């Protein structure tokens, strides 16, 4: 995970005994590392500008340790600015309805099951809505996962109205005083007008308390573009970033935090139900910065 950023930062920011730092060279090095690790141009420039300011402000000779501290602070402030506000385990509303969105194959269905499992293991009562009615296989896939974790699934036939599945799940939760309704949805391309209409209807009917965009870390900077397009049609509140276990570059988290201005609430770190972590920016920072 994040090998690229970690190794390159480690090498570039090594203290050289007593040597004067070469400002331009260091800035260029850091910029290259960031860009090679999937950090967007804008985010990289923000970090470089903050470093330049720090060096300009500095009264004494700047050491490599100072540079490292300055870059780390800059990265930390980006992550901190968009820290999650809601505590998912104590949202203060019942049932708390969460809708999961995203393009094809980002990990929505797996993540819905992982979150259901996480909530259940924290003694919360959950129902899942199989609102990806677009593919018959999706209902079956979610059914298998829900059986495995012991969570009830509300499903209709393939091809039926996704919003009505969500509606039924919410009724089910109300009748039984359940804590959460988790709604899976069909993977959609931003260009598919029908699916976008369907999603708008879903939002009207289910009135989710939290809409989560599921993004695949492997697509790196493209995630920002994807998310911006989504946000125009179906605004979302937070991001879950999946497949971090396969993300060697590591910059996607930084770019998403800086450019989307939405909190990352969970990260997926594998294919198993337990491979989910609440996102803690300090955990990430410790992994990418020496
Ligand atoms: N390595 C890894 N694989 C993951 C992770 N999350 C999901 N996957 C895998 O990604 C693939 C797609 O996951 P799904 O949950 O079916 O994705 P989806 O977004 O529901 O896909 P559609 O319904 O087709 O849009 C599956 O093989 C999952 O096991 C993760 O955090 N790490
Ligand atoms: Mg799915």
pLDDT at position 112, please? 98
CATH match of 3-81 with 1.10.287: no
- Give the residue whose CA is nearest to atom 21 of ligand 1: 105
Pocket test residue of 271, 273, 276, 279 for ligand 1, highest count of atoms within 8 A of CB: 271
Overall residue count recorded for the chain in this entry: 290
pLDDT average, residue stretch 85-106? 92
pLDDT average, residue stretch 162-174? 97
Ligand 1 atom nearest 268 alpha carbon:
31
- List, as ranges, residues with CB under 5 A of the ion ligand 2: 108-109, 138
Pick 129 or 218 by higher pLDDT. 129
CA dihedral 151, 157, 162, 166 (to 10 degrees): -30
Could you tell me the pLDDT band of residue 248, with boundaries at 50, 70 and 90?
confident
- 289 pLDDT above the threshold of 90: no
Regarding the beta carbon of 242 and ligand 1, being less than 6 Å apart is answered yes
Helix spans in the chain (H) = 3-12, 23-36, 41-57, 64-81, 108-121, 136-149, 162-176, 193-206, 222-233, 252-260, 281-288
- The rounded Å distance from CA 170 to ligand 2 centre is 20
> How far apart are alpha carbons 101 and 99 in whole angstroms?
7
- 190 pLDDT above the threshold of 60: no
- The rounded Å distance from CA 184 to ligand 2 centre is 7
Radius of gyration of the CA atoms of the chain, in A:
21
Compute φ and ψ for 4, nearest 5 degrees.
-60, -55
Q: What is the pTM of this model?
A: 0.92
- 189 pLDDT above the threshold of 70: no
> How far apart are alpha carbons 90 and 208 in whole angstroms?
16
pLDDT average, residue stretch 123-137? 94
pLDDT at position 1, please? 81
Could you tell me the pLDDT band of residue 234, with boundaries at 50, 70 and 90?
confident
pLDDT at position 34, please? 92
Q: Let me know if the fold of 3-81 is the same as that of 96-280.
A: no
Phi-psi category of 159—alpha, beta or left, where left has phi over 0 and alpha has psi -120 to 50?
left
pLDDT at position 20, please? 67
Domain limits of the chain?
3-81, 96-280
Ligand 1 atom nearest 184 alpha carbon:
20
pLDDT at position 17, please? 63
- 224 pLDDT above the threshold of 90: no
> How far apart are alpha carbons 262 and 85 in whole angstroms?
10
Q: What percent of the chain has pLDDT over 70?
A: 96
Architecture of domain 96-280: 3-Layer(aba) Sandwich (3.40)
End-to-end CA distance of the chain: 15
pLDDT average, residue stretch 156-181? 96
Could you tell me the pLDDT band of residue 187, with boundaries at 50, 70 and 90?
confident
Regarding the beta carbon of 231 and ligand 1, being less than 6 Å apart is answered no
Angle at 169 between CA 103 and CA 176, to 5 degrees: 145
- 19 pLDDT above the threshold of 80: no
Taking each helix axis from N to C terminus, what angle separates 281-288 and 64-81, rounded to the nearest 10 degrees? 150
Of 97, 43, 1, 30, the C-alpha closest to 261 is 43
Q: Which tokens in the block code for residue 140?
A: 């079956």
Residue 216, H or E segment: strand 210-216
Regarding the beta carbon of 162 and ligand 1, being less than 6 Å apart is answered no
Of 164, 202, 147, 145, the C-alpha closest to 155 is 164
Regarding the beta carbon of 139 and ligand 1, being less than 6 Å apart is answered no
CA dihedral 47, 53, 57, 58 (to 10 degrees): 40
Is the previous residue joined to 95 through a cis bond, with omega within 30 degrees of 0?
yes
């Amino acid at each position: 995970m994040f090998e690229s950023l970690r190794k390159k930062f480690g090498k570039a920011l090594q203290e050289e005994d007593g040597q004067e730092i070469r400002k331009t060279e260091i800035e260029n090095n850091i910029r290259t590392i960031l860009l090679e690790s999937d950090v967007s141009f804008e985010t990289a420039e923000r970090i470089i500008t903050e470093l330049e300011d720090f060096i300009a402000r500095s009264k004494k000779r700047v050491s490599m340790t100072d540079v490292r501290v300055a870059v780390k602070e800059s990265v930390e402030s980006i992550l901190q600015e968009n820290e999650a506000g809601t505590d998912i385990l104590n949202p203060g509303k019942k049932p708390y309805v969460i809708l999961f969105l995203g393009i094809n194959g980002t990990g929505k269905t797996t993540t819905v099951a992982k979150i259901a499992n996480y909530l259940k293991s924290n003694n919360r009562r959950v129902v899942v809505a199989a609102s990806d009615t677009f593919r018959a296989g999706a209902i079956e896939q979610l059914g298998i996962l829900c059986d495995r974790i012991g969570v009830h699934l509300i499903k209709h036939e393939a091809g039926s109205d996704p919003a009505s599945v969500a509606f039924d799940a919410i009724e089910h939760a109300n009748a039984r005083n359940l804590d959460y309704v988790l709604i899976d949805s069909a993977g959609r391309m931003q260009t598919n007008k029908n699916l976008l209409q369907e999603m708008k209807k879903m939002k009207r009917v289910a009135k989710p308390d939290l809409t989560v965009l599921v993004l695949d870390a492997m697509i790196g900077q493209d995630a920002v573009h994807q998310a911006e397009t989504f946000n125009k049609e179906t605004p979302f509140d937070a991001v879950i970033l999946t497949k971090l276990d396969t993300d060697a570059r590591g910059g996607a988290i930084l770019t998403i935090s800086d450019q989307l201005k939405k909190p990352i609430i969970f990260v997926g770190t594998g294919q198993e139900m337990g491979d989910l972590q609440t996102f803690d920016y300090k955990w990430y920072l410790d992994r990418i910065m020496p």
